[in-house]
Structure 1
């Protein structure tokens, strides 16, 4: 999970003659997560480049569906429109999306879900040019894997034909989507590298941070198993779990901690703000993720920008990231002893050469700044005859 804070009304409104990009995404601010972070940062950068931006999203968070959010809001110069929905959070149904596309110059859909399919099959109703960013597709867990593959190769393939471009945000997405859309292109996600910049502890500490939604696929159980091994080897180890409730709630995670007798060695932080997260990071040296699936690995990059050394489960996205940045450590978190040893080895590397490791971590993240990534999207928008923004 990447944390985004909504600072309202800081951007100068764009003239009504400026081209309008409409982003369609199932969850947005005030929710916190990787998808929300990408859309928010891209939208802010697009506004700064002279475009008008509207985000159409659902009117409640999946974690609190009964609490309705304002139907309209302005966040950082971004027009936010929230619409009613029904059904499952896995495939929320929200046909009111069609009411908010009439003045769009381009519709940018995020993720492969109801919006992706509905806007594709309803393109004769709205008639707008569209692109989609994949955000990992819908293979976040192995559950229903056979059905997902059939869906992907049939309905997803057919829906993708309605889009001018299918944009993949990771090499693993590109490999997958190129099988059904040969013209798929790669624009990797940006990272907010200024948010926690250079804030990790200066001296090596046996303190670990993990950041992410409390989702089953993040495999906090595996991470806690590794933490139990670490504690048995050295009682100084401490883990801070930072995130928002999702498939798992606070009670689920607390129960997992207590069942392993880790209450004194693990601290749970539910939905802290960025200032609080920065203070947590300031006492830590390592970032760890046992996640079995990631669309890109955004949170690992944000951790690296803080100076935290990542020790990551060897899923496809993290393997790709580590191949590009050798400073990243990989481990098999299904094996608690081996994962604990990998964490200890990372700590020892920091002890030996703290300044060199930190310099490598910070240098590795510079190419992921949102200024650079947004420029790639603007180039794409303009290649589709979307008029350039007004300076």
Structure 2
């Protein structure tokens, strides 16, 4: 069971097949920072639709769900707004360095199906009481010092597995200099589906971007004085079966970014068997593990270390409930370097207690393999 758990979470680092060309001339481009440019591409000619399983796919412009019950969303305000013209969507322009890094990072430093996979560690919770139709949570983001051959993630995820075959989707924050070429905090999405194929963001085909203003992947402006929270929501569309990524935030109601089409998956027809939240780190080949969360162990107060809060799931009937309504499993594989603390809070006008989870730690040179 432990090996299965690790293999599922290690899917974050699976080999990425990167699209190295741009077949569509952008209508407009936005440069929002050093080496970060978005091209506005015709929505019907976007790279995501080049996947061989999507030859006959019809784009779904909006999810068919009813309004979400969410008291609040992320507190992130981007300095540089992206607003692509009607009929186009933003796609991160892949530089030569990004393409090289995307190919080399997983190949050189990760062996996903190996018991001795070097230096991947987790601290989080999950529930196997599915089927589930979705998960959302406040995901904590903070600027950390991460070396070029390391990575640190904070994520929500859902997945299903049968006979060592996995379908998997995750979203949240990442710091991954080996992938992006810088040490900034980035939002991201990842999927793995049929035939063990998968991809980050829009680095290769599969994800269908719909929003004109919110790309699936972007650098996040982190405040030096207060934590930044992203509230991603991964959910299966009730009518189409597609898996949508929505960002709940204060600037606009329910920012529907795009979706992973149902055609990419073969184990998600009736929902996902598990959902979870947590931190994941990838150590350097030398064995040095990076910090997770905000770099502090969860041995102080609620605000001392990183936190996941307001974790909601959709059950098989699309009913939204706190994750505390379901049995959960705690996952911590390197307690000397990373930890997790479960806290409870009574939700307003409810007698049921809800959970929040403090997590993270400093890493170091003695975290184990």
Give the TM-score normalised by the residue count of structure 2.
0.24
Bigger helix share = 1
* Larger CA Rg, structure 1 vs 2: 1
